[in-house]
Copies of this chain bind each other. A is one copy, B any other.
Amino acid sequence: MAHVKGGLVILKEMVNSLSPSERKVATYIIDHPQEAIHLTALGLGEKSNTSSAAVIRLCKSLGVKGFQELKIRVAGDLQTDDATVYRDIEPNETYKSIIDKVTANTVQTLKETVDIIDENQLKVAVEALANANSIVLAGVGASYIAAKDGEQKFQRIDKNAYSFSDIHLAATLIANKGKGDVVIGISFSGDTQEVAKLLQLAKQRDITTIGITKYGNSLVSQYADILLHTSAAKEATFRSGATSSRIAQLHVVDMLLMCLASNHYEETIQHLDASREAVMFLRD
């Protein structure tokens, strides 16, 4: 199936290369999509202080067949609206309902994590990792899962990666590292003393520190050279959201790995293929 871009995506991409009146219309749609798709061309012209002709010209400029087509595309983008709310599990729900809620919450967490990620920080992090002699991942409790996951993934592409939840052991390792190494500290709240201490120690030794933690000031953020934020949105929804922080952390790790993979494509692919073959060999 051909990939069809959503109407809002096209609008946002093109909004800067449009003539003034077309831009007015485009901006109005972006700001009020829900309203816009229920207006006529004339009505939208009035609302955006232009004319129906401007609306039609906008459609043509965007490469869309007509106003109806544009409305249909924008409508497609709006669909997610009813999923943007975290919903908690209730007593004795049907299995189907629980499955839907858990899935919707997880998808929402992923999207928020993407919204919140700072591309520049990601870029700096990837470059640091690409050149790193070794990578230490530290996380305690739930965050250890993400650290362990990162360890496995980096090892697959031939990086010297080590994960720790025991901070004493991690400190021992860090004691012998220095410039050119990287420590990734993972803490949902950002206030995990042990992880913060570890980053502090690393910084003293000139090791590059990356923090994966929630948005805002925290212990961990003080000691991180590079900060990658996970969605803090709804840990209030503790009971069903308890799983969200982990998903967000894992997703950040995935993004790091994939960006690294793309930037160093050939080597990475070779390592990934070699890893796979090794696992296949064990199976026979």
A78-B75 Cα distance, complex, nearest whole Å? 10
- Assess whether B153 is in contact with A243, with CB atoms less than 8 Å apart: yes
A10 within 8 Å of B (CB atoms): no
- Across the interface, name the chain B residue whose C-beta is closest to A193: B283
- List the B side residues contacting A84 at CB < 8 Å: 1
A3-B93 Cα distance, complex, nearest whole Å? 18
| A110-B103 contact given A80-B79, A90-B262, CB 8 Å threshold | yes
A130 within 8 Å of B (CB atoms): no
Cross-chain contact of A276 among B102, B238, B265 (Cβ < 8 A): B238
| A102-B283 contact given A85-B1, A123-B95, A149-B145, CB 8 Å threshold | no
A274 within 8 Å of B (CB atoms): no
Interface residues of A in 198-226 (CB under 8 A from B): none
A152-B75 Cα distance, complex, nearest whole Å? 41
- List the B side residues contacting A193 at CB < 8 Å: 283
Among A98, A144, A152, the one with the most B-chain Cβ atoms within 10 Å of its Cβ is A98
A171 within 8 Å of B (CB atoms): no
| A72-B71 contact given A95-B122, A247-B250, A255-B99, CB 8 Å threshold | yes
- Assess whether A92 is in contact with B145, with CB atoms less than 8 Å apart: no
| Stretch binding the partner chain, chosen from A16-24, A53-61, A111-119 | A111-119
Could you list 29 examples of A-B contacts with CB < 8 Å? A1-B81, A5-B82, A38-B72, A68-B68, A68-B71, A71-B72, A72-B72, A72-B75, A73-B75, A76-B78, A89-B261, A90-B262, A91-B266, A92-B263, A95-B259, A99-B114, A99-B122, A99-B259, A102-B255, A102-B258, A103-B111, A103-B114, A145-B148, A145-B149, A193-B283, A238-B276, A239-B269, A239-B272, A240-B261
Top 5 A-B residue pairs of the complex, sorted by shortest distance between their CB atoms:
A91-B265, A79-B79, A75-B75, A76-B79, A72-B75
